[in-house]
Amino acid sequence: METSNLKKAGLKVTLPRMKILEILEQSETRHLTAEAIYRELLDSGEEIGLATVYRVLTQFEAAGLVCRLHLEGNQAVFELERGGHHDHIVCNQCGRVEEFYDETIEQRQQRIAADHGFSIRDHALVLYGDCSDESCPRRPAS
């Protein structure tokens, strides 16, 4: 496995951390809740506690390996930080998440912040709408 990411981040290479990183890498949804990761660990037969999942994810976030998103407010989702920054569109019906990056918006944000006397460090932009995926309205949010 890729233990180098962990080492580079100054984190000890432990089984829970490797497994969680692995799940994040192999997931096709790219956006997982702590609960979802926990369930996957259990399904793989790993004896890893939910508290550890939260702890590890928080450390990963601090190390810049993942970022934490509050797409719906109640439960945070985590995604692997692979390079570029991006924002998200969430479907209100099926919960599907798409990513986008828009240079114009990024620049306007800098400009607006400067006009208000702020130096921007981060931002969260989430669009909520209805997707046109034909399988959407029937599929409940995962």
Partner DNA sequence: GATAGTAATGAGAATCTTGTTCATCGAGCG
Partner DNA sequence: CGCTCGATGAACAAGATTCTCATTACTATC
124 binds, among DNA, a second copy, none (CB under 5 to 8 A by kind): a second copy
Q: Which is nearer to a second copy, 59 or 110 (CB)?
A: 110
Question: Among DNA, a second copy, none, what binds residue 118 when CB lies within 5 to 8 Å by partner kind?
Answer: a second copy
How many of the other CB atoms lie within 10 Å of CB of 17?
23
Assigned token pair, 116: 């208000």
Instruction: Looking at residues 64 to 83 of the shown chain, list those that interact with DNA (rule: CB under 7 A).
Output: 74-76
What is the Cα–Cα distance from 20 to 24, expressed in whole angstroms?
A: 6
Given the rule CB under 7 A, which of 5-13, 94-102, 120-128, 133-141 is the region that contacts DNA? Answer: 5-13
Specify whether the CB–CB gap between 63 and 106 falls below 8 A: no
- Exactly one of 1, 15, 51, 112 binds a second copy (CB under 8 A); which one? 112
Residue 18, exposed/middle/buried by CB under 10 A (0-12, 13-18, 19+)?
middle
Task: Please identify, using beta-carbon distances, which residue of 8 and 70 lies nearer to a second copy.
Answer: 70
Using rule CB under 7 A, residue 14 touches DNA: yes
Q: How many residues bind a second copy (CB under 8 A)?
A: 34
35 binding a second copy? (CB under 8 A): no
* CA gap 54, 38 in Å, rounded: 9
Residues 89-102 as b/e (b if ≥16 CB within 10 A, e otherwise) read: bbbebbbbbeeeee
CA distance readout (Å), 52 to 2, 18, 24, 109, 123: 20, 12, 15, 36, 27
Q: Which does 27 bind (CB under 5 to 8 A by kind): a second copy, DNA, none?
A: none
Binding site for a second copy (CB under 8 A): 70, 73, 76, 89, 91-92, 98, 100, 102, 104-105, 108-109, 112-113, 115-133
